[in-house]
Amino acid sequence: MSGVTVTEGTVNVELCEKPLFFRQALPSSGEPKLCVLLLHGIRFSSENWLQISTLHTLAAAGFRAVALDLPGLGRSKAAEAPSAVGEPAPGQFLMQVCEGLGTGPVVVISPSLSGMYSLPFLFQHTQQVKAYIPVAPICTDKFTAEQYSAIQVPTLIVYGDQDTQLGEVSLRNLSNLPNHKVVVMKGAGHPCYLDDPETWHKSVLEFLQTLS
């Protein structure tokens, strides 16, 4: 992982009055293949992606990795969330994040709470989503099977087999996305990526290699 530096910054988003904090890692040489936008759950922040080396791993594999602290959480605590927890936020929120960061179409990694942001973005700004990696996100029940079936974005559904609540509910709904694969992480709980970073990184990188 040598040669990969993680930098910190903030991005202004119209829907939030205060700027949002992010961490970013870039490949040490050459143009990045794609940008991967990493979101997080309610008890977490971009720091988790730093601690388990997801930012380094993605950058070392040639991707631009950006981990955002969501409004009201982590180092974006001062920012006002555009929706109440558990209610789908405007899809425009992540669109403004992408515009502010100049990402181009992104791969969105979305665990748990962040489903309230990533799912509306997926449905309302489909052209901005290169691929979708949901990890037992919330709000999957807020959309219909018909809505899911219209989305052709390549999707990797990941969950831990010990996550018997959100893991199974989200799988049932997300399975309506026609272009999906599923990775079940054995012995892992709700934040399965923290329980087994090695399997997590291997699964994500293998999926990313399939995106031309």
163, 180, 196, 203: the catalytic one is: 163
Look up residue 1 and give its DSSP letter: -
Given 112, 114, 118, 170, the catalytic residue: 112
Known catalytic membership, residue 201: no
* Annotated catalytic residue within 110, 190, 196, 203: 190
Phi-psi region of 135 (alpha: psi -120 to 50; beta: other; left: phi over 0): beta
8 Å CB contact between 144 and 120:
no
Beta-bridged to residue 127, according to DSSP, are none
Query: Rounded to whole angstroms, how far apart are CA atoms 167 and 171?
Result: 6
Q: Quick count: other Cβ atoms within 10 Å of Cβ 205?
A: 14
Rounded distance, CA 77 to CA 93, Å?
Answer: 16
Identify whether 180 is a catalytic site residue.
no
Burial class (CB in 10 A: 0-12, 13-18, 19+), 194: middle
Token look-up 């940008």 returns 35
Q: Is 45 a catalytic residue?
A: no
The DSSP 8-state label assigned to residue 80 in this structure reads: P
The catalytic site residues sit at: 112, 163, 190
